[in-house]
């Protein structure tokens, strides 16, 4: 099955975000539904990006601090 996602230009072009944060956001976008929510766990994201779990956690923190995502339990809501 082929997957694709729509990634916000605002997020990808944000110079304050690291490359890993942008990559994590991109993975969330390919998992997101029409209401821009998704629920991949950190291990899934780490496997897709071929990075460690803690690296994904740092990317998530950056995205949350920049208000690009919001975590609601296990659900990730894309805000941009």
pLDDT in tens, the chain (80 residues): 688 889 999 999 999 999 999 999 999 999 999 999 999 999 999 999 999 999 999 999 999 999 999 999 899 999 98
29 in a domain, yes or no? yes
Residue 13, domain CATH = 1.10.10.10
Burial of 24 (0-12, 13-18, 19+ CB in 10 A): buried
2 in a domain, yes or no? no
Q: Provide the residue range defining the domain that includes 21.
A: 9-78
- d(Cα 40, Cα 56) in Å, to the nearest integer? 12
Contact 78, 37 (CB under 8 A): yes
27 in a domain, yes or no? yes
1 in a domain, yes or no? no
Q: Is the pTM for the entire model greater than 0.75?
A: yes
25 in a domain, yes or no? yes
3 in a domain, yes or no? no
Q: Domain count of the chain?
A: 1
């Amino acid at each position: 099955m082929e997957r694709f996602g729509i990634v916000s230009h605002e997020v990808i072009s944000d110079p304050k975000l690291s490359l890993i944060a942008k990559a994590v956001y991109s993975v969330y976008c390919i998992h997101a539904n029409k209401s821009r929510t998704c629920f991949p766990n950190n291990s899934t994201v780490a496997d897709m990006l071929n990075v460690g779990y803690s690296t994904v956690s740092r990317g998530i923190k950056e995205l949350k601090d920049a208000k690009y995502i919001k975590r609601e339990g296990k659900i990730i809501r894309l805000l941009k």
